[in-house]
Amino acid sequence: MRRKTGGKGAGAAAVRVIRGHYILFGLALAALVALGAAWAVYFRHSAELESKAALNELVHVSVATALMRGQADSPPPMGPLSDDARLQVVAASERKPGDLFSPLIPRYPEIGVRPNPALLAGIRTQAARRQIQFVGEGSLLFVLIGVCIAMLFTLIRSDRKQMRSIEDFISTVTHEMKTPLAGVKSLLQTFQAGRIPPGQEGMLSTMGLKEIERLEHMVENVLISGRLRTERYQMDIEPVALRQMLDAFVEHRRHYLAGRAESILFRWEPAEAELRVRCDPQAFSVVLDNLTDNALKYGGNSPEVTVRVRRVPGGVEVAVEDHGIGFDPAQAEKLFEPFHRAAAVRSDVHHGTGLGLSISQALVRRMGGSIRAEGRGPDRGSRFVVTLGEA
């Protein structure tokens, strides 16, 4: 029998494609570095050649002019030459070491020809500018190359983090799906074999419904997460009676909790208030499901979840509180990141997709509200507060 490895094969192919892209990017950067180094060598060498060529041209012109003027019957007047402003006639006594100077030979050795000092200064200034240009452009080029290399390493780290998150997510979801499916399969096999003890049909049916509800909730979270990422989640904001909605929520949860619906306690401040909020009922139900599940999972052996409702300036607060393992207040913002769990709970709780709080935050924000996490430290419980606009 052939093994089905489509998922793993597709994942491995995707990894190979990504690695191929990184290799191409790395080769492109290496080629860019090589071209940059070649450009630096060429630019510097060409600047030096340009300066030397200009100076050599003046030397040749000076020598040729000196030889030609040495054939004249009378010495040329002192000062700039009338037919070549680049040169001037000077006394031999003015010659200094290092000057580009050629005496008029053989007839007038007391005078000579040399380039105009301003022209020499211009050549040297141009050489200095080219040097500054080389340093500036070279520095910019290598800074850009450094930025590209830093971006490459950042992308590699980010991609590895994303790949690890996806692998963890797939592993977690697979495990989460197998657990309720195995439970339901076992129950159905028990029913099929007729081995149900008398009077246990209702309890076993409730257990099966609980596992199906758990699986349905997990699949719904995965689908909502996908629609949120692709901006395909549609909201229908409307005024909703909060007490009526929470009563319906508890009635729905009664089957899922299998006798633990009494673990959810309501506190209204003020108790007689009939509050209405602006929200999407389905989206808010998902938020309540996720926050309640979170409280029950991390609430300890005998979790008691309190839903506290009160009017605040600018809206209505719905707080879901538990008395479980809690978290460090410094981790509050990170709890809403996908696949993140507080360090204190990693060894205590392993089930769950890690998407519930991030989905809740995204849905609440789309409804125009806000959500925050409040923790008082390990083993001191957690509190998640949703604020929505009052209708």
pLDDT tens-digit series, residues 47-70: 888 888 888 888 888 888 878 877
Q: Where are the domains of the chain?
A: 7-157, 238-388
- 169-183, 304-318, 334-348 — which one is most confidently predicted on average? 304-318
In total, the chain counts a number of residues equal to 391
Fold category of 238-388 in CATH: Heat Shock Protein 90 (3.30.565)
Global pTM reads 0.57
Q: SS3 for 230? A: coil
Q: Of 376, 269, 281, give the one whose Cα is nearest residue 318.
A: 269
Calculate the average pLDDT of the chain: 78
CB 172 within 8 A of CB 352: yes
User: Residue 224's pLDDT is what?
Assistant: 82
Q: What is the mean pLDDT of residues 348-360?
A: 71
Report whether pLDDT(346) > 50.
no
Q: Decide if pLDDT at 5 tops 50.
A: no
Neighbouring-strand partners of residue 312:
315
- What amino acid is encoded at 298 in this protein? Y
DSSP 390: B
CA distance 390 to 242: 10
Mean pLDDT confidence for 100-110: 66
pLDDT per position as a tens digit, 310-340:
888 888 999 999 888 888 888 888 888 876 6
Q: Which helix (H) or strand (E) holds 211?
A: helix 201-229
Q: pLDDT category, 273, cuts 50, 70, 90?
A: low
